[in-house]
Structure 1
Amino acid sequence: MITVHHLNNSRSQRVLWLLEELALEYEVKRYQRDPKTMLAPASLRAIHPLGKSPVITDGDSTVAESGAIIEYLIQKYGDGRLMPPIGSKDHQRYTYWLHYAEGSAMPPLLMKLIFGRLPQPPMPAFLRPFARLIAGGVQKSYIDPQLVTHLNFMEAELGKSTWFAGEHFSAADIQMSFPLEAAHMRAGLNNTRPHLMAYLQRIHARPAYLRAIERGGQYDFMQ
């Protein structure tokens, strides 16, 4: 039996969604973030040394990292589903977006979150004006331009096809969901990029996505 070690409001929501799309049986073991630090609990380290989510266990196998989990599940249980044929142009795109999501799209989004929180407690009050000045400068000079570049790139790519790997929904779309949901929440993704907004509407309407929300619980990134 596959067990998803599921942290609330995290990337592991994508794993639940994939399992629902594949119609696989699985169990959910829930973990809650620390309400003050928003970090994963130390109990996750008993599953994987980094103590982060997502992590799945499947028999004797423990698999971490969203992309690695998706590849593992597709290769072991996919039976050709949710992946373009190997050797095809669409498969090249599939592989690219599967890795782009965490390798390129998420770093500036994470920096946006970190620098946005920098001037807040527990930063001492007398240092907050300086922290706000530094954080604002970094965001304006580097982070925000990077986000604009990435959002424009993704918008243009979705102008070429319905889904990221072509005309058929794939696991690459599941992987890409989190950075786009995060961008919608905190990085200015709005109706000025109609292809991306329509994409979010399409994925949020999928029955398997909605079933995964029911299994996973509150997910603030679904707006």
Structure 2
Amino acid sequence: MITLHALKYSRATRVLWLLADLGQPCNRVDYDRTEAFRAPDALAQVHPLGKSPVIEDDGELIAESATILRYLAAKYDDTSHTPPKGTPAYWQHEALLDYVEASFAEVALRVIMPAFRGKPVPEDARDALNRHLDYIAQAIGDGPLLFGERATLADIQLSYIIALLARLDLLSDHPKVAAYWSALQQQPGYIAATQAAGPMAPPA
């Protein structure tokens, strides 16, 4: 059975979501955040960078959310969380899956971190975030999710950053993305994951 090292209020919920969709159990090892909202030292004993999520499977240690999601889809022969291979939609999906952490997260965190601390958000950071949210709104298209009504790996990957933005009321000027967040929360895997491990974003 897969072991998931899961930091509270973290990207680990993405992995639980996919496992729930796949009907696969896991041995979940939970880690509480420190008073400074950082990962505890115990996670550094699992991964040199103290990262979460990390999974262990048959002696292999695998980190990075997108890699874990792809690994689980391959392990369980799942094709229901991506568009059909060889189609333009498939490559659009792959680009969006990597976009989340490669491009979007850094921009979003420049707004999220000061907002969480009650500090002013730099105007250039807010402008950059708005450009990315407009891009995501365009990617949603007719919706309700990125590729229709069922969550893909890219939707699952995107959910964590969107949850943080929603928690800080940073989607109010982007109704299409706000509606997308509402649709994500109705997905069975999201519901199962958050019932098991708590909400993605920390409470007020």
Q: Same fold (TM over 0.5)?
A: yes
TM norm structure 1: 0.83
- Structure 1: runs of 5+ lacking an equivalent: 121-131
1:90-140 superposed Cα distances (whole Å, 9 cap, x missing partner)? 10111011011111111022122344577x8xxxxxxxxxxx7xxx5x711
Specify which of 115, 122, 138 is matched with residue 139 of structure 1. Answer: 122
Paired position in structure 1 for 2:134 = 152
Is the CA contact 1:91–1:165 (under 8 Å) kept in the aligned structure 2? no
Pairing 1:16-165 to 2, within 5 Å after superposition = 16-35=16-35, 37-116=36-115, 136=120, 139-140=122-123, 142-165=124-147
- Deviating more after overlay: 163-172 vs 68-77: 163-172
The alpha-carbon deviation at position 186 of structure 1 amounts to: 2.8
Post-superposition shift, 1:200? 1.3
Deviation at 1:195, TM superposition (A): 2.1
CA distance in 1: counterparts of 2:72 and 2:29, whole angstroms: 18
Q: Counterparts of 2:193 and 2:77 in 1: how far apart (Å)?
A: 18
Question: Is the contact between residue 109 and residue 187 of structure 1 (CA under 8 Å) also seen in structure 2?
Answer: no
Q: How far is 1:45 from its partner?
A: 1.3
What RMSD, in angstroms, separates the aligned Cα atoms of the two structures?
2.3
Deviations 1:1-31 (A, max 9, x none): 1111011001111111111011112111000
1:28-87 deviation per Cα after TM superposition (whole angstroms, max 9, x unaligned)? 10000001x111011111111101111111121111111111111111114322111211
Structure 1, residues 159-214: CA drift from partner, whole Å, max 9, x if none?
A: 34432245643111101111211221236202x43321222111111222111112
Helix, strand or coil for the counterpart of 2:122? helix
Q: Distance in 2 between matches of 1:172 and 1:29?
A: 25
Q: Bigger CA drift: 104-113 or 89-98?
A: 104-113
TM superposition score normalised by structure 2? 0.90
Alpha-carbon distance in 2 for matches of 1:218, 1:166: 24
Larger radius of gyration: 1
